[in-house]
Amino acid sequence: MRKRDGRGKQIRVAIVDDDESFLELASYNLKKDPAAKFEVTCFSKPMDLYDPQFVEGFDAYVVDYKLGQVDGIDLILGLRGRIHSGPFILCSGAPLDYAQRQRAVKAGIEIVIEKTSDVYEVLSRYILELTRSQNNKSPDP
């Protein structure tokens, strides 16, 4: 059984972004983070995440806001209808306005972060914090 609380235990993370360089850098930086053992799966095509092999397969989801024709919030809403795990983190290259942030909250997105120079450290910290919090709420079977 896979354990997921970040203290030397594996945390499976899905990252969805149409920017290949962001995917590569995010994956690299999360995997080298000494605070946790991240197993990262990257998706450059958002709809690939709907593949049945990935349903319920991740401990955390990091989704870009702008994914070409797909809105990251809409993608997360669709995923929430299919899976019962999370947390969901929305990333954006630009600040979201008030209406966009309200949509994110209503979609159950735990946090919205901007892609700044320290985005990988921020991602790591929030993934660890949110997965630990989620694991403390629901006991392992």
Q: If you search the block for the tokens 């979201």, which residue do you land on? A: 96
Mean pLDDT of 87-91: 94
- Give me the pLDDT at residue 9, please: 77
Q: What pLDDT score was predicted for residue 101?
A: 94
The CA-based angle 124-11-39, given to 5 degrees, is 85
CA distance 41 to 16: 9
Q: Supply the pLDDT for residue 83.
A: 76
Round to whole Å and give the CA distance between 72 and 27: 19
- State in Å, rounded, how far the first CA of the chain is from the last one: 10
DSSP 32: T
**What pLDDT is recorded for position 86?**
79
pLDDT digits (tens, 9 = 90+) for 51-87: 877 766 789 999 999 998 889 999 999 888 777 677 9
Domain borders along the chain are 10-137
For the chain, give the number of residues.
141
Decide: 6 and 36 in contact? Cβ < 8 Å.
yes
- Which of the residue ranges 47-56, 100-109, 123-132 would you say has the lowest mean pLDDT? 47-56
With H, G, I as helix, E, B as strand and everything else as coil, classify residue 2.
Answer: coil
Structure tokens at 8: 């030397």
Architecture of domain 10-137: 3-Layer(aba) Sandwich (3.40)
Q: What is the pLDDT of residues 5-55, one digit of tens each?
A: 445 579 999 999 999 999 999 999 999 999 889 999 999 998 888 887 776
